[in-house]
Structure 1
Amino acid sequence: MSNEQLQQQYEWAKAAYAKYGVNTDDVLKKLADIKISMHCWQGDDVAGFMNPDQELTGGISVTGNYPGAAHTPEQLRADLEKAFSLIPGKHKVNLHAMYIDTDEKIDLDEIEPKHYEKWVAWAKEQGLGLDFNPTFFSHPNSEDGFTLSHPDKKIRDFWIEHGKRARKVAAYFGEELGQTSVNNFWVPDGFKDNPIDRLAPRKRLMESLDEIFAEDLDKKYTLDAVESKLFGLGAEAYTVGSHEFYMGYGITRNKLVCLDAGHFHPTEVISNKLSSLSLFSDGILLHVSRPVRWDSDHVVIMDDELQEIGRELVRNDLLGKTNIGLDFFDATINRVAAWVIGTRNTIKALLKAMLEPTEYLKKIELEGDYTTRLALTEELKDFPFAAVWDYYCEAQNVPVREAWLEEVKKYEENTLLKR
């Protein structure tokens, strides 16, 4: 499609939305300021570079053996660069602690900012931010399924030290890059079968987290987040860090509460939780994923829940207090393509929501005109959203529509298949 055709279609769409008071030019300016935190672990199947041969544990499972997985930090950064070149806007990368880039042989309780200096230098070159996650899985000290809530104090102390050091790394990211680094704490602790004592492990987890967070760090540089989970492989009956645990912990300790789309009951959605959480929390961390019957972390598609998440963030003016990250890993398809599909869809969902005449819809709802509310929200589904998206991609110098796929296939042939 030529530039002239894109412009013509955009002008037509612009007029359609203007009828209801939506200025598409302003919407696209706001959209360009939204940063999505793209997770590094899609690129190498959650192996990391600390002990890449260590068995993946913590209730996590990656299926597939598509060729081209990254095996070094340099390869992973090259793959990330290719993905970002096909995604509109400037965003962030979400690193796990195990993705160190150093020749030193260290353990998780020894990490320091210097072990991530190459990541920071690269992020500066690319104009990206960095978020962080301590790694509480795939380690000998997590083999029995417990870390911060472990009954053995020596093992707890190991993980507490790791958590403390992870916070220092995140603060280093924020200070060096001028973008607040969100540091997300998720632990896999739990039992495969029904426990007798549900309270004691949660008390140990609470005390361990309190010790990790005892030192105040400048929130200008880093924000701590805590993430719940319903269950994982090997922890089907009981998860120490449940939603109720972390909701209480995050609110009473002034931490971000992370809502992951896959970490709840199969029929439960996180879109309906955002407005409630916003009333009691200074900020939210959102992990956009796609569960299929369980927390299977499928690549994000433009499904009903993704669009509902976008609408909730926009309609309730929550974009300013919500940190949006991705969390999926699929080794059955091209990993760069997975990043591009998931990230573009997340941005699309936000754009689609921002093109709604939100204030008008709220007005007629308050007036009790539910007929117009239903009729208009249905008709808006057929408005020329795609023309606005195409114009935005062109303006951001990334491929329009499916043209990005050809770029990925060339990269696969020239780079990924040669690994």
Structure 2
Amino acid sequence: MKGVICLGILLLGQVQAENWPSWRGEGARGAALEADVPAKLEEGSNLLWKAPLPGQGCSTPVVWGDQIMVTCDLEGKDGVIAFDWKGKERWRQHFGEVAGTRHKAAGSGCNPSALTDGEQVYVYYKSGTLAALTLEGKEVWKKNLHTEYSADGLKWDLGTSPIFAGGNVVVALIHNENPSYLLSFDKKTGKEVWKTSREYKAPREAQDAYTTPFVVEVDGVETIVTWGCDHLSGHDARTGEELWVHGDFNPKQQSNWRVIASAVETDGIALVPFGRGEHVAGVKLGGKGDTTKTNRLWTVKGVGSDSCTPVAMNGKFYILNDKGKDRGTLTCLDAKTGGIEWQSKLPRSAAIYYSSPLIAGDKLFAGRSDGTLFSGTITADGLKDVVENELNDTLVASPVAVGSKLLVRTHGYLWCFE
């Protein structure tokens, strides 16, 4: 679509290569095209270091320059730790009491990933705490979204991560029973910039969203694209005003169609995973008002992802099926047509996938919950030269590639390979 430009493209290639500032990296695509990381991961060869983590967390590390930051439980508190590239701890900070988890194996009170602009770090927790810190770990401001706006109405553990939009920090609060909002806060002070109600008709629990919005420029307007409550919506990043909304993702009104995997974008087209991993849809971004009848490009049944957010890159979507009989199937879809380019199957196991896939250079990484991290080379015919890397620790967080280094966060450790 003319006028649709990913904001991340505006950044210099060098900055993209050296930083991973948010959960899915620049543009929220889950791709680091300039990265050159190893496919085979071995402790005795290319493991630079393995730093123990003091408590559980399922968030992905973020990187800015010479600093790596990751949230985790710190002695029963909402915590965040910073490491250098030698694996040495630089600082740690904690806030209020960590919220209890409802999913013992794959959840935590520290699921959302941190966010940084190179000036400050922003962290968000299941407890409702949203806070800003300096790059030295000093608290700048702190607030609680549950007490100030809406109590936690999610059935499971909070998953959405904060983003930058309109020069501010934005958080999506989408859940059943209690009011749902998009919230924008001043980065320096934490003061509310705008608050927009995000209430759409949906059955109970289908109102719950564990997704993270992404930001693109659509027809000259910086737009926050949010997936949840059976609707994909676009809001003006400056004001929070709803620009358009797209529905018809739950025609039979299934009551438990909560969404975990986030929507992603390439070439002005959003991929929307829905139906608990059974469907995906391609939606043309933009328009005004209700675009349900005008902007749906295609819908594919039998291809999908329930927990793992797909990768979007160069007009293609890469989707990891994470549950059921097709668990471990990777599908490459053409963004414009929804046509299947190829499918590859990873070795079967009773373990499922929570970690979202990563593309680094010409390699794709997919992490399984039993600690197996698969890697393979992307070709026109599928994934080739697949390697099984055994980390022997629970793997839920998504891997991160920065330059020649691959960061992997398991329940017990932060690993760095090169």
Structure having the higher strand fraction is 2
Structure having the higher helix fraction is 1
Higher CA-based Rg: 1
